[in-house]
């Protein structure tokens, strides 16, 4: 009888301890190897997005590529913005005397393709010029639009394959997303960062799409 009572006592303690251990272990799932909670990589972008005005898209009337970019602006000597991006984002890039890349390898993060010829590479505007026009850029000065189209400070210019850039066109994230899901967090963060800096508004469907993409962010 004494043995039986001890066995029952141990069993009861086990039932009490196991759930308690499970509860105390749960918060640690969101911690890194050092024991510190992981940061939410999408949090800064969500805060910026929350501060952007939500409105209906403006008319495309009056838009022209020329209103933003008659040509790529020069940034460094003979190098224009496109050539700077190709040199920045490529590997083993060789340029001629005019700064134009004649050899190199480029990675297109939208679709995960490696491109071994400059002819297959585009420099994409993350927020398309026509989309920016309908988001408030139609009221800007020519100088501000030109600065937007050649911005090397914000994440507005990125290397992409020609085929995926054509597929993207002037679409927003509610209509087009990078084929490579692993880039969604970076794409949404870049899009929001550009719009936040230039105080461009977002549409309701655009905001929902961006929030969905930010869910793929990891600490």
Record the tokens describing residue 172, joined without a space.
Answer: 């927003």
Question: How far apart, in whole angstroms, are the C-alpha atoms of residue 185 and residue 134?
Answer: 24
Please give the average per-residue pLDDT across 28-49, as a whole number.
64
pLDDT at 75 over 90: no
Question: How far apart, in whole angstroms, are the C-alpha atoms of residue 39 and residue 124?
Answer: 30
pLDDT at 23 over 70: no
- Number of other CB atoms surrounding residue 154 within 10 Å: 16
The three-state secondary structure class of 108 is strand
Question: How far apart, in whole angstroms, are the C-alpha atoms of residue 176 and residue 202?
Answer: 15
Residue with tokens 């920016």: 132
pLDDT at 1 over 50: no
pLDDT, position 39: 62
Report which listed range, 15-29, 71-85, 161-175, is most confident: 161-175
What are the residue boundaries of the structural domains of the chain, listed by start? 40-73+124-214
Question: How far apart, in whole angstroms, are the C-alpha atoms of residue 40 and residue 133?
Answer: 32
Give the residue from 98, 60, 62, 63 showing the smallest Cα distance to 82. 98
Question: How far apart, in whole angstroms, are the C-alpha atoms of residue 146 and residue 71?
Answer: 9
């Amino acid at each position: 009888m004494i043995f039986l009572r001890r066995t029952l006592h141990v069993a009861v303690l086990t039932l009490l301890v196991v759930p308690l251990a499970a509860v105390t272990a749960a918060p640690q799932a969101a911690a890194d190897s050092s024991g510190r909670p992981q940061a939410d990589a999408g949090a800064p972008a969500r805060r910026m997005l929350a501060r952007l005005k939500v409105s209906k898209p403006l008319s495309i009337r009056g838009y022209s590529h020329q209103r933003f970019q008659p040509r790529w602006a020069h940034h460094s000597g003979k190098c224009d913005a496109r050539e700077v991006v190709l040199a920045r984002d490529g590997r083993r890039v060789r340029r001629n005397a005019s700064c134009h890349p004649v050899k190199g390898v480029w990675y297109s993060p939208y679709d995960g393709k490696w491109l071994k010829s400059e002819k297959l590479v585009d420099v994409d505007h993350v927020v398309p010029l026509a989309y920016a026009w309908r988001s408030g850029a139609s009221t800007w000065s020519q100088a501000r639009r030109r600065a937007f189209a050649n911005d090397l400070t914000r994440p507005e210019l990125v290397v992409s394959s020609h085929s995926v850039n054509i597929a993207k066109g002037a679409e927003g994230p509610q209509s087009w997303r990078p084929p490579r899901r692993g880039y969604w967090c970076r794409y949404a963060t870049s899009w929001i960062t550009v719009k936040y800096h230039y105080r461009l508004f977002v549409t309701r469907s655009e905001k929902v799409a961006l929030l969905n993409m930010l869910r793929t962010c990891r600490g």
